[in-house]
């Protein structure tokens, strides 16, 4: 349930958002501290944020999916607001998925965002908008767009080095020779991308320890998480063409937290030579909320210094020089059963989302609206900044002490929650929608 800020009563002469003064209007009848438009100061889901999702209100006569925008602990029925306010954006917002909005392109994204900001901040709209804000506790959130292709990268140097040290302790370099030359990635299963809150059934499969004479079958005994950030493609591109670094924001609409659940025992036995398959394909959880890139302008940071020269299509020094740094300063938290076990810093990622997009298309592969690509596990340099249990427990050697007992890998009933915030304009925080999921026993 929402927290209300009693220090911020309605004052129609003082717009709370960035849209500036409007014509004076008659004060509307206030509903006191329970108005969803009166957010606590510093609410990370204030009008400076406005992430998009898709919701139903099954108990309230709204069984159809509809586009929504989060404000505090409420969701605005965005399509209904557009219709009530005579906005031309009804066709983009009153839809069962965000795909039409994603496909509309950067100018439309800006225009819609500007309109939404006004709807939730300009007092003249209050009477119309307020009844269209529903408590999150009363809605069901759905996968907000139709996932086209899903790609997972491997772009944290700290993560890649940790994995190298764990699995190839005798190698001269913990990174593979290609790692600093291209953002390594692979395709995942888009059909099992699920929205935050979906239970995850422990997968079964084959595993074989090196000393075992033959593989055995059963529920995974090394079920893990990967804390990641995913980017959502809006505007498609054609086969045979590539997307330049500088065109990143023409194609990518926004981002979301993502948990790339991983069965390490299945993965270890299957992945040579063609990469991860069943160790990943059973479930991938994304947030119900897509944060538009425009909400994260204040969070942009330069990526780490490049230690190897980059081929021109990946060389982002010009973009950074032009005040278009490719990194994002997202502060992620990983909690198991409510206990924070790690705080991975996204700003440490070596490869940026713009580089990933340029690489993914440099061979002429096309983009579709709804393509989703994830960063790979986010791990910082610190021991408490690692984005997987594989790393946090050093492959099970060093169990975590949780209030409810020790953990190497996930146990049935565990609830994993990723959350994050980023610096917003004027010292605000921009909250990212959480990703949570509970482990159910194997079928």
Instruction: Tell whether 4 is in a known binding site.
Output: no
The whole-angstrom distance between residue 187's C-alpha and the CA centroid of its chain comes to: 18
Select the span of 96-104, 288-296, 361-369, 391-399 touching its own copies (CB under 8 A). 361-369
Q: Which of 159, 187, 339, 359 is catalytic?
A: 159
Pick the closer one to its own copies by CB: 23 or 217. Answer: 217
* Cα–Cα dist 392/381, whole Å: 12
What gap in Å lies between CA 70 and CA 43, rounded to an integer? 12
Q: Which two tokens stand for residue 112?
A: 């819609």
Contact positions with its own copies (CB under 8 A) in 154-183:
154, 176-178, 181-182
Q: Is 307 in the site for its own copies (CB under 8 A)?
A: no
Applying CB under 8 A, the span of 63-71, 145-153, 325-333, 337-345 interacting with its own copies comes to 145-153
Whole-number Å distance between alpha carbons of 38 and 12: 12
Q: Does 234 bind its own copies (CB under 8 A)?
A: no
Tell me whether residue 267 is annotated as binding. Answer: yes
With CA atoms as reference, report the closest residue to 293 among 212, 199, 207, 357: 357
Beta carbon nearer to its own copies, 113 or 180: 180
Of residues 392-431, which lie at the interface with its own copies (CB under 8 A)? none
Q: Is 276 in the site for its own copies (CB under 8 A)?
A: yes
- Residue among 278 and 288 whose Cβ is closer to its own copies: 278
Q: Say how far residue 385 (Cα) sits from the centre of its chain.
A: 18
**Would you state the structure tokens that stand for residue 211, as one six-digit string?**
């000393």
CB atoms within 10 A of CB 168: 13
Among 86, 274, 323, 427, binds its own copies (CB under 8 A): 274
In angstroms, give the least distance from the CB of 247 to its own copies: 15
Smallest separation, CB 227 to its own copies (Å): 18
Nearer to its own copies, 312 or 403 (CB): 312
Distance from C-alpha of 375 to C-alpha of 152, rounded to nearest angstrom: 6
Q: 308 an active-site residue? A: no
DSSP secondary structure letters along 346-415:
GGG-SS-HHHHHHHHHTTS--B-TT-EEE------SSGGG-SSHHHHTTTTTS-EEETTEEESS--TT-E
Residue 277 Cβ, how far from its own copies at the closest point, in Å?
5
Cα maximum dimension of the chain: 80
Q: Which stretch binds its own copies (CB under 8 A): 36-44, 77-85, 267-275, 411-419?
A: 267-275
Minimum distance from CB of 166 to its own copies (Å)?
Answer: 12
Tell me the torsion sign for CA atoms 372, 189, 384, 404. Answer: positive
Which of 215, 381, 405, 413 is the binder for its own copies (CB under 8 A)?
215
239 binds its own copies (CB under 8 A): yes
Residue 364 found at the interface with its own copies (CB under 8 A):
yes
* One residue of 9, 59, 63, 191 binding its own copies per CB under 8 A: 191
* DSSP-assigned letters across all residues of 92-155: HHSSSSSHHHHHT-HHHHHHHHHHHHHHHH-GGGHHHHGGGEEEGGG-EEE--S----EEEE--
**Residue with the two structure tokens 């040579």:** 272
Tokens of 302: 């330069």
Residue with token string 């020089």 = 321
State the residues that interact with its own copies by CB under 8 A.
Answer: 148-149, 151, 154, 176-178, 181-182, 184-192, 194, 201, 203-206, 208, 214-215, 217, 239-242, 263, 266, 269-279, 281-283, 309, 311-313, 359-360, 362-368, 371, 440, 443
Residues annotated within a binding site for Ca(2+): 152, 226, 228, 260
Catalytic (active-site) positions: 159
Residues annotated within a binding site: 152, 154, 168, 226, 228, 260, 267, 271, 280, 284, 377
């Amino acid at each position: 349930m929402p927290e209300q800020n009693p220090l911020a009563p309605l004052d129609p002469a003082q717009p709370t958002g960035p849209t500036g003064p409007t014509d004076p209007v008659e004060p509307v009848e206030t509903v006191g501290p329970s108005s969803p438009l009166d957010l606590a100061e510093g609410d990370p889901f204030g009008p400076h944020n406005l992430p998009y999702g898709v919701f139903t209100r099954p108990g309230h006569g709204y069984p159809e999916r509809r586009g929504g925008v989060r404000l505090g602990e409420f969701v605005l029925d965005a399509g209904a607001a557009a219709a009530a306010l005579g906005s031309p954006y009804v066709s983009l917002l009153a839809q069962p998925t965000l795909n039409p909005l994603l496909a509309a392109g950067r100018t439309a994204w800006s225009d819609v965002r500007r309109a939404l900001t006004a709807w939730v901040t300009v007092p003249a709209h209050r009477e119309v908008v307020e009844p269209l804000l529903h408590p999150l506790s009363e809605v069901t959130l759905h996968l907000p767009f139709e996932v086209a292709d899903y790609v997972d990268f491997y772009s944290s140097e700290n993560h890649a080095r940790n994995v190298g040290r764990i699995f190839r302790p005798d190698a001269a370099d913990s990174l593979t020779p290609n790692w600093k030359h291209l953002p390594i990635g692979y395709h995942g299963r888009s059909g099992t991308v699920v929205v935050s809150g979906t239970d995850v059934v422990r997968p079964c499969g084959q595993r074989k320890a090196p000393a075992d004479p033959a593989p055995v079958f059963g529920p995974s005994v090394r079920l893990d998480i990967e804390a990641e950030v995913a980017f959502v493609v809006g505007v498609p591109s054609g086969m045979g063409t590539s997307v330049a670094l500088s065109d990143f924001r023409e194609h990518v609409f926004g981002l979301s937290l993502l948990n790339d659940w991983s069965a390490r025992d299945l993965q270890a036995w299957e992945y040579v030579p063609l990469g991860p398959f069943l160790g990943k394909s059973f479930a991938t959880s994304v947030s119900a909320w897509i944060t538009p890139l425009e909400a994260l302008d204040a969070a942009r940071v330069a990526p780490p210094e490049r230690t190897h020269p980059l081929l021109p299509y990946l060389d982002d020094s010009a973009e950074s020089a032009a005040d278009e740094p490719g990194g994002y300063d997202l502060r992620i938290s990983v909690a198991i059963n409510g206990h924070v076990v790690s705080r991975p810093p996204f700003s440490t990622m070596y490869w940026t989302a713009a580089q990933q997009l340029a690489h993914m298309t440099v061979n002429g592969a096309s983009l579709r609206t709804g393509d989703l690509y994830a960063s790979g596990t986010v791990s910082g340099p610190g021991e408490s900044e690692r984005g997987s249990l594989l790393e946090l427990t050093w492959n099970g050697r060093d169990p975590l002490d949780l209030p409810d007992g020790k953990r190497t890998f996930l146990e049935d009933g565990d609830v994993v929650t990723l959350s994050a915030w980023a610096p917003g304009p004027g010292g605000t925080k921009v909250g990212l929608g959480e990703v949570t999921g509970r482990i159910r026993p194997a079928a």
